[in-house]
Copies of this chain bind each other. A is one copy, B any other.
Amino acid sequence: MEKQQAIRPLSTTALTIAIDAMGGDDAPQMVIDGLVRARFRHMDVHFELHGDEAKLQPLLAPHNKLADCTSIHHADVAITMDEKPSQALRQDGRKSSMWMAIKSVRDGTAQAAVSAGNTGALMAMSKVQLRTLPSIDRPALIAMWPTMIGETAVLDMGANIEVNAKQLVDFAVMGSVYSRILTGIQRPKIGLLNVGVEETKGHEEVRAAATLLANAPIKAEFVGFVEGDDIGKGTVDVVVTDGFTGNIALKTAEGTARLISDFLSRAMRRSIFSKIGYLFARGAFQRLKDKMDPRNINGGVFLGLNGVVIKSHGGTDAIGFASAIDVAVDMARENVAEQIADEISRMMDAPLFERSAGNAQADEGLGEAKAALP
């Protein structure tokens, strides 16, 4: 089934990115359009396109230059957006374009995989094939948000609907390593997302995680609880939360950005003065629009895996998908997964974390944290 087309010899330094061509609301057309854009920015990258060859071949054909650096790998199955992760892992799912793209990362033929498909299925397949790093229970989805003073990494963006205190601590560690690699800040500031900055507020898990983090030997500064508006302020470098809250916060922020853009363009059309104003200021508007465009911050990274897997929005367009490919190329070049593995293993050797492992450790930590609470 896996037939390669347009095989090109790759230099040892060249990257290969595996693409799930069937994932996303507007796939595969959107994927091809995204690749057309991405190719200009990454002339030395080879793309492995996994999906329905009969559909992909005619879409790719008009783009000679892209076809030269792309190979199509036929996959019979496409994972749907409403498929449960457990279904996706069954036999048919293991013939899917999503599975095959991740398999290329596992086999070492690709250095990163990108999919705009079902998040739950992508995480389940990544976990099964790539395995999590030692002492990490579950991978998390991280994304960079624009802030008043730069960018803040936020995780988890939706991979883990329910988490315990130990997992929130894992997220904090992974997020701080990611932030350090991307921004160069040696001791990134970490905040736990909560409904108030007081120690008595919030879920039990969040309060227990705060107690653990206050004592954890991490190369980061844990500042305590932060609130929703601290993300945009850039109060910290890394914001840690569960996947349910993180996903809703992200989408609410996107919705707010679109709402304001809508208000603004309506306000600009209201009078002759505002129309003239718009003519003069449209360069400024365009810069603002680019900065707030969710397509430009599209592309979340799964952290905690033995490999790089990038999740693009299900509803993304070609611009957003190309942006996710940018992230994949950066992550693969920086060997982020390996760097995190090193950092985590170093931290896990520290006294607080070496006493026990896995769930027993999580429970113990939670018990300790509970006891320490007022």
Q: How far is the CA of A276 from the CA of B203 in the complex (A)?
A: 50
Q: Is the CB of A263 within 8 A of B249?
A: no
A162 on the B face (CB < 8 A): yes
Name which residue of chain B comes closest to A82, CB basis: B198
Known: A247-B195, A277-B279. A147 touches B259 (CB 8 A): yes
Q: How far is the CA of A268 from the CA of B161 in the complex (A)?
A: 40
Which stretch in A34-42, A130-138, A282-290 binds the other chain? A282-290
Q: Mark A143-164, 1 if CB is under 8 A from B, else 0.
A: 0001110000000001001100
Q: Is the CB of B203 within 8 A of A232?
A: no
Known: A255-B232, A277-B282. A249 touches B249 (CB 8 A): yes
Q: How far is the CB of A86 from chain B (nearest CB, A)?
A: 10
Q: Mark A247-267, 1 if CB is under 8 A from B, else 0.
A: 111111111111110111001
Q: How far is the CA of A193 from the CA of B250 in the complex (A)?
A: 13
Q: Is the CB of A292 within 8 A of B260?
A: yes
Q: How far is the CB of A288 from chain B (nearest CB, A)?
A: 5
Q: How far is the CB of A353 from chain B (nearest CB, A)?
A: 27
Q: Is the CB of A276 within 8 A of B280?
A: yes
- Kindly identify, within residues 200 to 253 of chain A, every residue whose CB is under 8 Å from any CB belonging to chain B: 200-203, 227-233, 241, 243-245, 247-253
Count this chain's copies in the assembly. Answer: 2
- Kindly identify, within residues 58 to 105 of chain A, every residue whose CB is under 8 Å from any CB belonging to chain B: 81-82, 84
Q: Is the CB of B148 within 8 A of A259?
A: yes
Known: A260-B292, A267-B287. A243 touches B195 (CB 8 A): yes
Q: Is the CB of A233 within 8 A of B255?
A: yes
Known: A82-B200, A264-B288. A252 touches B228 (CB 8 A): yes
Q: In the complex, which residues of chain B have a beta carbon less than 8 angstroms from the beta carbon of A249?
A: 228, 248-249, 252
Cβ-defined partner of A193 (8 Å) among B248, B267, B273, B281: B248
Give the interface size class of chain A: 35 or more
Q: In the complex, which residues of chain B have a beta carbon less than 8 angstroms from the beta carbon of A120?
A: 201
Q: Mark A268-280, 1 if CB is under 8 A from B, else 0.
A: 1011011011111
A291 on the B face (CB < 8 A): yes
Q: How far is the CA of A288 from the CA of B253 in the complex (A)?
A: 17
Instruction: Among A247, A248, A278, A288, find the residue whose CB has the most chain B CB atoms closer than 10 A.
Output: A248
Q: How far is the CA of A14 from the CA of B251 in the complex (A)?
A: 44
Q: What are 29 of the A-B contact pairs (CB < 8 Å)?
A: A81-B198, A148-B259, A161-B195, A161-B203, A193-B248, A203-B244, A227-B247, A228-B248, A228-B251, A228-B255, A229-B251, A229-B252, A231-B252, A241-B248, A248-B249, A253-B256, A256-B256, A256-B257, A256-B260, A260-B292, A263-B288, A267-B288, A268-B284, A270-B287, A273-B280, A273-B284, A277-B278, A277-B280, A277-B284
Chain A contacts to B: CB under 8 angstroms: 81-82, 84, 120, 146-148, 158, 161-162, 193-195, 198-203, 227-233, 241, 243-245, 247-260, 262-264, 267-268, 270-271, 273-274, 276-285, 287-288, 291-292
